[in-house]
Amino acid sequence: MTLDTAWAVRWIRASAAVISEHRVELITLDRDIGDGDHGENLDRGFSAVLPKLDDLAGDATPADALKLVATTLISTVGGAAGPLYGTAYLKAAGAITGQAELDGAAIVALLTAARDGVVLRGKAAPGDKTMVDAWTPAVDAASAAQSHGSDEAGILDAAATAAEDGARATEPLVAHKGRASYLGERAIGHRDPGAQSSALLLRAAADAATGS
């Protein structure tokens, strides 16, 4: 079953809910190796998106919904996460412009563009202990699932599972980007908060596709 604007809106609402629910967890992860504002900033950003969803036009496409997320996060989140997530959603929207229904190939294109946006803005590589460590395995898994014939929900589930594994896998790493990089080996043993929030957002996308 292809995914439409209603899915995109469900994904955004589920994102706001899951970030709010995990706000303290994200703050704690960030306080350990960053500056402790990740949960607060993202919660503020997604909370600001919610009232704007009602203003989406009746003929809005999934890309319109994602663009709304992008501009709102850019103007409300601050820190490094605002521009990184804002660029991710903006590029994701760009990859599916004009499509009312998203098939598996479109979902993979959306995820790939989002990942590329994060890399473009943050210039991080896999293994740098950043959001990229959740997004890159997610894109690879989504691509593999699509080529094995999974439906859209299956593709998103594969992406979410890979992102969750990827976030966990940041724990033993030394950070090479962002404020955590100043800690050197003291960052070892801590999960990257950006990778964790990325995994939460991708799980929300999968949940929204199964209607749960």
Partner 1 sequence: MKKLINDPRRVVEEAVAGFEAAHGDLVTVSHDPIYIARKDAPREGKVALVSGGGSGHEPLHGGFVGFGMLDAAVPGPVFTSPTPDPILAATKAVDGGAGVLHIVKNYTGDVLNFETAADLAAADGIDVQTVIVDDDVAVKDSLYTAGRRGVAGTVLVEKIAGAAAERGDDLASVAAIATRVNSVTRSMGVALTPCVVPHAGEPSFTLADDEIEIGIGIHGEPGRERIKIEPADAIVDRILAPIVDDLPFASGDRVLLFVNGLGGTPQVELYIVFRRAAEALAERGITVSRTLVGNFVTSLEMQGMSITVMRLDDELEQLWDAPVQTAALRWGR
Q: Which residues bind partner 1 (CB under 8 A)?
A: 35-37, 41, 74-80, 82-84, 86-87, 121-122, 174, 176-179, 181-183, 186
Q: Which is nearer to partner 1, 72 or 143 (CB)?
A: 72
* Residues forming a β-bridge with 133: none
Of the pair 82, 193, the CB lying nearest partner 1 is at: 82
Minimum Å gap between C-beta 41 and partner 1 is 7
Q: In the bound complex, what is the minimum distance in angstroms from residue 194's beta carbon to partner 1? A: 11
Q: How far apart are CA 104 and CA 89, in angstroms?
A: 18
Find the shortest distance in angstroms from Cβ 178 to partner 1: 5
Task: Classify residue 179 by its DSSP letter.
Answer: G
Q: Is 3 in a helix, a strand, or coil?
A: strand
Instruction: Tally Cβ neighbours within 10 Å of residue 211.
Output: 9
| 159, 142 Cβ separation under 8 angstroms | yes
- Closer residue to partner 1, CB minimum distance, 166 or 178: 178
Nearest to 63, CA basis, from 107, 16, 122: 107
Rank residues 87 and 146 by Cβ distance to partner 1 and give the closer one. 87
Is 63 in contact with 99 (CB distance < 8 Å)? yes
> Cβ of residue 177: shortest distance to partner 1, in angstroms?
6
